Chain A
Amino acid sequence: MKNHAELLSGFLDMAEAMLMAGAEVSRVEDTITRMGLAYGASNMNVFVITSCIIITMEIPEGEDLTQTRRVLMAGGTDFLKLEKFNDLSRRCCAGQVEAAALSEEVRQIAALSPRRWRMYLGSVLAAGGFAVFFGGTIIDGLVAALFALLICALQEKLLPLSMNQMSFNLLCSVIVGVLTGICTNFLTFLHLDKIMIGYIMLLIPGMAMTNAVRNILGGNTISGVMRLIEAVLWAAALALGFMIAMFITGGGLHH
């Protein structure tokens, strides 16, 4: 009996870590259900939304076990971790992982942290690339890439100190927006709108919005609606921040 409770808390650890690595709600539900059946449950009831996990395990000749876990922190997408969790669940289903060792394996994967240079280089490439993609000049791209470095630094230092993603987006967009405004006021050959679109790609919850709509269409209505509202609020915070930046630096947001 104790064994099953331990196993169940291992499942919760795994589900939580998957969510924090950016896994889709339906993927988490699928994975945990499959693993539970592989470890001998007669039926698995897994309900996951982005902020909460509920698992009930039906054990043959035993009581049903239910545990829940509140997920407070949303994490960024980390595909390396997702691949490792995928591999772990495969090994579990093939019976290669002892139930007692599951929590430890999950902990090891969750503790991996992505290299810092990847985030910086990736942001520089993405902001620079998209500034040119949306019609900016090469110089606009380079300036957007510079501001991407600043955004990375803010994400590293300011995000942990912020109340939530919304307040971070507000602060970040005011700071970066004002600096960009000053920059383009002096260097008039730069295109404010293209530079901003370039680095806004790093901040806008475009992927979150798209996933939200997919969740809703796919039947995970609660997760979808939660995410959609979150994403709209994040975007609104960004818009508000850039509006404030515009009032401070004067002039329109694009020339």
Chain B
Amino acid sequence: MVSITEGIIHLVTAGIGALGFSLIFNVRKELLPAAAFGGFLDWGVYMMAEWFFGGGVFLPSVVAAAFASLYAEAMARVEKTPATVFYIPALIPLIPGGSLYYTMSYAVMGQWDLVQSYGASTAYCALGIAVGMSLVLSVEYTFHKLTAQKR
């Protein structure tokens, strides 16, 4: 769990990181604010989910990835552009860069018990993100089919 100051620093830097990646991925100028805001917002959702589930990485990753997907779909409708433009920047802060780094550095130092725990955390994160996005994808597909049938 994090303190309020830490939380604010996390949110702001998540937004800056998302903005950075939006620039690297060549997001159009008009869409940059919304793309960067996605990273900010999504990290907020992650922290809330972390608090709600009392820690862990898997479930918060699922929730945050699913939220990113919803945010991207909503923004895509507003801006009339593919959802992925908002989706990828919003997901960037969820990437387990820290645990991946510690996995590899403990492997170098031969501390295999720590490698195992950081490695597992990295894998759970990646799996959580994938499950979150697939979840929304499948529900959305079914929803589309249903609304199309009603017409």
Residues of chain A at the chain B interface (Cβ within 8 Å): 22, 24, 27, 76-83, 86, 114, 118-119, 121-130, 132-135, 193, 196-197, 200-202, 204, 206-207, 209-210, 213-214, 217-218, 235, 238-239, 242-243, 246, 252-254
List, in ascending order, chain B residues with CB within 8 A of A239's CB: 104, 107-108
Q: Are A235 and B100 in contact (CB under 8 A)?
A: yes
Contact in complex: B97, A125 (CB < 8 Å): no
In the complex with contacts A122-B20, A210-B126, A133-B93 CB distance below 8 A: yes
With beta carbons under 8 angstroms apart, the residue of A86, A133, A193, A218 that contacts B81 is A86
Supply 25 A–B pairs (Cβ within 8 Å), ascending by A. A27-B82, A27-B84, A76-B24, A76-B25, A79-B82, A80-B27, A121-B23, A125-B16, A125-B17, A126-B24, A127-B20, A129-B13, A193-B102, A197-B98, A206-B96, A206-B126, A210-B126, A213-B129, A217-B131, A218-B137, A238-B104, A239-B104, A239-B107, A243-B108, A252-B109
A79→B84 contact, CB < 8 A = yes
Least distance between A115 CB and chain B CB atoms (Å):
8
Cβ-defined partner of A82 (8 Å) among B9, B82, B95, B134: B82
Can you list, as one digit per residue, whether each of B1-38 has a CB less than 8 Å from chain A (1) or not (0)? Answer: 00000000110011111011111111110000000000
In the bound complex, residues from chain B placing their C-beta under 8 Å from that of A129 are 13-17, 19-20
Specify which chain A residues have a CB less than 8 angstroms from the CB of B96 in the assembled complex. Answer: 206
B88 at the interface (CB under 8 A from A): yes
A58 to chain B, nearest CB (A): 25
Cβ 8 A contact of A206, one of B14, B27, B100, B107:
B100
Residues of B within 8 A of A200 (CB): 97, 100-101
Q: Does B91 contact A (CB under 8 A)?
A: yes
Query: Which residue on chain B has the smallest CB distance to residue A26?
Result: B137
In contact, B20 and A126 (Cβ under 8 angstroms): yes
CA distance A121 to B22 in the complex (A): 11
Would you call B17 and A253 a contact (CB within 8 A)?
A: no
- B 68-105 contacts with A by CB, 8 A: 81-82, 84-85, 88, 91-93, 95-98, 100-102, 104-105
Report whether B134 and A77 are in contact in the complex, using a CB–CB cutoff of 8 Å. Answer: no
A129 to B12, CA, bound (A): 8
Determine whether the beta carbon of B26 is less than 8 Å from that of A80. yes
